[in-house]
Amino acid sequence: MISIRRRLIIMLLSLIITIGGVTVFFTYNDAQHEVGELFDAQLAQSARVLDALILHQINKSDITRVDLNDIQNILNHITVLNTPSNNIVNENDNSGITSYERKIAFQIWNDKNELILRSASAPDIPLSNSSLKDKSPGYFDEHINNKRWRVFSLKTEDKKYFMQVGEQYEIRDELATDISKQLIRTSLLSLPILAILIWIAISKGLSPLGRIANEVTKRNKGNFKALDLEDIPLEIEPLTLSIDDLLKRLEEAFEKEQRFTDDAAHELRTPLAALKTQAQVALASNNDDEKERALKKIVQGVDRASHLVNQMLVIARMEKYPITNQSINLNELTSELLEQFKNKIKLKGLSVSFNAQEDVVVQSDITSLTILINNLLDNAIRYSPDKGEINISLSSNNTIVLSIENNAEVIIAEDLERVFDRFYRVPGTNVEGCGLGLSISKKISDCLGIRLSLDNKVDGSGIVAKMVW
């Protein structure tokens, strides 16, 4: 599993390390540059001091080794005043750090390019050949014996001599490296502290997720109330909203399921209760008429239970058998099925009309379609009042429509929504039935791609069932 915490920490630390690396690189470069400028200035200063200190002595040619050492010492400790970098070097000196002690070398050449004086640290070849040749003053970078040197050349004030003052780059590099090292050391030390702080910050940031998980986990079965959490951050809100939305849909599904089991319990248990009660009445009765009446009621009850079982079997089979596809003449099928209800129609004194365009043919499954139309006709007749009218119409314009109307009592909207639910019966229905017919019809029509609807007639004079292909 991905851990946001781990991922964030790795990302943030890598970022910090990268930025730190880049910073060290630039700091090193900057330090080198600044140190260079400072040292260059000191080099120039050294040259001028040298000029002032010793030139007149060269003329007198009475320089001793001791003098040379003293001069060397003075040169080594020259610092440039009044530059910002100067302070740092001074501070370093004050704190007793002597690792940056400088080793300034110098050479003095006459106009015949003969070396007349050099410090002990200076080589006997020119510090800078090129500058010596054309007697050009200024700064030069040179390689002597595989060492890099910084050289400052200068003509003496009396123009008789050419002076070269130099020092090895080593010391500059060392100083710049030390500054950078210091920086790296501080950064590395702060990394673990940073990691801990980031860890704490992330934990704090992720805590709403924990609270949500907790809130959802501790819920009892059947608790679908929206999450009630305070101080939810903006970024987490879409999550809680989605969870709330999911909970709402879950609740709807749960309620639907519960309604189904309630309806099923009612439709399955009531006939059994009736059978048992009637049977017990028959058993307990001393009166023959009463006994016979109860037994007849039992037969009636068994018929009702059989109808229920048949409908349930239809559903079970529907789920099992494949759907075939063949041409079906709807005019013929409807007429044939209507014929089967002849007796019931006569018994209730219904007047039935069938208006149809000729030869309306659909591609469908004959078995399923027969059950569907049969169910709808049966319902129309069953729920029609005595002496009512049933109008069947079949049309085939843009779409094929088979509609069946009767004069049954209108159904309120709330019940209309549920008429296709299994085992649902409109309350107060006193017609025999088990609440499965319409749900079977709906299921078949869904399988066959027919839109089935049941509505009150617009003028409120009855109910219309419509199949639309």
Of 442, 426, 444, residue with least CA distance to 434? 426
CB contact at 8 A, 127 and 115? no
CA distances from 264 to 259, 267, 276, 426, 440 (A): 8, 5, 18, 14, 14
Please, which residue, 176 or 298, has the CB nearer to other proteins? 298
Amino acid making up residue 456 = N
Please, which residue, 157 or 257, has the CB nearer to other proteins? 257
Please, which residue, 262 or 332, has the CB nearer to other proteins? 262
Token pair of 356, please? 């149809």
Q: What minimum distance in Å lies between the beta carbon of 273 and other proteins?
A: 4
Tell me how far apart the 2 most distant CA atoms of the chain are, in Å. Answer: 164
Token pair of 432, please? 């025999």
How many angstroms separate the CA atoms of 48 and 165, rounded? 10
Token pair of 387, please? 């002496």
Q: What minimum distance in Å lies between the beta carbon of 426 and other proteins?
A: 8
Please, which residue, 281 or 318, has the CB nearer to other proteins? 281
Please, which residue, 192 or 428, has the CB nearer to other proteins? 428
| C-alpha dihedral sign at 20, 23, 29, 32 | negative
Q: What minimum distance in Å lies between the beta carbon of 427 and other proteins?
A: 4
Q: What minimum distance in Å lies between the beta carbon of 2 and other proteins?
A: 41
Could you give phi then psi for residue 391, rounded to 5 degrees?
Answer: -115, 120
Give the interface with other proteins as residue ranges (CB under 8 A): 262, 265-266, 268-278, 280-281, 284-285, 290, 293-294, 297, 300-301, 304, 427-430
Please, which residue, 300 or 329, has the CB nearer to other proteins? 300
E strands, 58-159, in order: 105-110, 115-118, 138-144, 147-155
The Cα angle at residue 382 between residues 381 and 387, in degrees rounded to 5: 60
Amino acid making up residue 460 = G
What pairing do the DSSP bridges indicate for beta strands 351-356 and 389-396?
parallel
Q: Is 452 helix (H, G, I), strand (E, B) or coil?
A: strand
Q: What minimum distance in Å lies between the beta carbon of 292 and other proteins?
A: 12
Please, which residue, 209 or 250, has the CB nearer to other proteins? 250
Please, which residue, 27 or 300, has the CB nearer to other proteins? 300
Please, which residue, 123 or 385, has the CB nearer to other proteins? 385
How many angstroms separate the CA atoms of 52 and 46, rounded? 10
Size of the chain, expressed as the number of residues it contains = 469
451 DSSP β-pair partners: 468
How many angstroms separate the CA atoms of 434 and 306, rounded? 10
Q: What minimum distance in Å lies between the beta carbon of 275 and other proteins?
A: 8
Q: What minimum distance in Å lies between the beta carbon of 453 and other proteins?
A: 24
Please, which residue, 12 or 281, has the CB nearer to other proteins? 281
Token pair of 163, please? 């002076």
Of 158, 190, 148, residue with least CA distance to 58? 158
Please, which residue, 339 or 414, has the CB nearer to other proteins? 414
How many angstroms separate the CA atoms of 122 and 294, rounded? 136
Of 301, 295, 296, residue with least CA distance to 282? 295
